[in-house]
Amino acid sequence: MNFSARRGLVVVLTAGLAASAVGGLAAHADTAARTHAATRADARGEVVSFARVRSMSAKQTRAWLASDGFDAEAVRYGVDAYRLVYRTVDVRKRPTTASGLLVLPRNGDRSLRTVSYTHGTMSYKKDAPSVTKDVWGPGAAVTYGGAGFAAVAPDYLGLGKGPGAHPWMHVPSETTASLDMLRAARNFAPRTGRTLERQVLVTGFSQGASAALGLARALQEGADPWFRVRAVAPISGAYDFGGTQLPATVGGKIPAKYAVVYASYLLTSWNRTHGLYRTPDEVFRRPYADRVEKYFDGTTPGAEMFQGLPGTLPELLTPRGQEMLRAPGGRLAAALRQDAAAVMGWAPRVPVRLYKISDDEQAVTGNTDRLAAAFRARGVRAPVIDVGDRVYEESRHLGSNLTGTALTARWFRTLR
């Protein structure tokens, strides 16, 4: 989840804002790293190329974050930010590449504690944290970097510099992309004279909240020989997609236009991954059947997609499409069960805090309550923390990222 009504789409689904002069943005041409065979299965996390994309003093960092509403109280240092392109695997475990953002503090420490931050929904490649020129996309990672952490923010598959379309709300590939970005950051850090400590503090917002839980679970279960999860703090996620979020989407509990975009993204993305329909006109009405898959292939700016879709679900979906979402069956039901199991079907053995905002108009707050109950049933105490009233671009959901990031940064600084 992650919609900006004024910008015209999910998160920052605009073409991106002009670089802030106060940010001292300095983009550099990608610098090729030494690589081996592109198809090697054991090359996951190998850095293919890198570029320094931001360099800011502490004062510049605070001003840059504040220009888009981020709380810069935790920022004590300047930052250097790098885009990494690295080797990973796609949804079918075939070799591919992805990109992500690594933000390092200018604090002189040689060994750095690591935060993994996974971002919210976006569909346009150029809005991803490692490539966008705005503040919103990389703002959380820069906050953690300015607080003294090595902040690692994957773009996910198919966004940023990654090939192909993004498999939206696909926790398994979000997990592998996040894990391999951690490995890439560890491989790259010595080039700057730094090393990453083994324990990882895991957080994420909206779509990234589910991704954060997937990564934390993988680390707890020993998916990497080096990294270990230290704590996890997801913010405003759609954790119970099938049981809570989807009924809210089709039942009128989120704004109609948001429902249209999320339903479109779900059906087109999950069709690529799970095979839900043969041709778009089975589930989408014309003229939208002719254009909707193009809207979500990574090449269409958010504002264009937002304007091109209708205002209500009945205008968008055929009777079959409407019934598919009202009463999921077959492959869609199986995919929803898989999603729920990946996010909620485990018991964290590390400190957990669940951040939410009341009256969330996108990722309805019942998702967080459902996750807390699932953890409680497994004997896990996971405090639910309401971030209070915060609105960003007319959205409480987006506002929760700003306050939730500030609260998470403060909590992570207390953990050793």
Which residues touch 180 (CB under 8 Å, ≥6 apart)? Answer: 44, 45, 86, 87, 88, 89, 98, 154
User: What is the full per-residue pLDDT of the chain (416 aa) written as tens digits?
Assistant: 565 544 444 443 332 322 333 333 333 334 444 333 344 557 999 999 999 999 999 999 999 999 999 999 999 999 999 999 999 999 999 999 999 999 999 999 999 999 999 999 999 999 999 999 999 999 999 999 999 999 999 999 999 999 999 999 999 999 999 999 999 999 999 999 999 999 999 999 999 999 999 999 999 999 999 999 999 999 999 999 999 999 999 999 999 999 999 999 999 999 999 999 999 999 999 999 999 999 999 999 999 999 999 999 999 999 999 999 999 999 999 999 999 999 999 999 999 999 999 999 999 999 999 999 999 999 999 999 999 999 999 999 999 999 999 999 999 999 98
Domains belonging to the chain, first-starting first, are: 3-239+347-414 (3.40.50.1820), 241-338 (1.10.260.160)
The pLDDT, as a whole number, for residue 13 is: 34
Cα radius of gyration (the chain): 20
The pLDDT, as a whole number, for residue 200 is: 98
The answer to whether the beta carbons of residues 107 and 201 sit under 8 Å apart is no
Tokens of 356: 């939410």
End-to-end CA distance of the chain: 31
Q: Which residues lie across from 112 on neighbouring strands?
A: 196
Strands 354-356 and 384-386: parallel
Say how far apart CA 145 and CA 75 lie, in whole Å: 8
The pLDDT, as a whole number, for residue 330 is: 97
- Whether the link from the prior residue into 95 is cis, omega within 30° of 0, is no
Of 286, 267, 288, whose CA–CA distance to 277 is shortest? 267
Tokens of 405: 């990031």
Which residues touch 373 (CB under 8 Å, ≥6 apart)? Answer: none
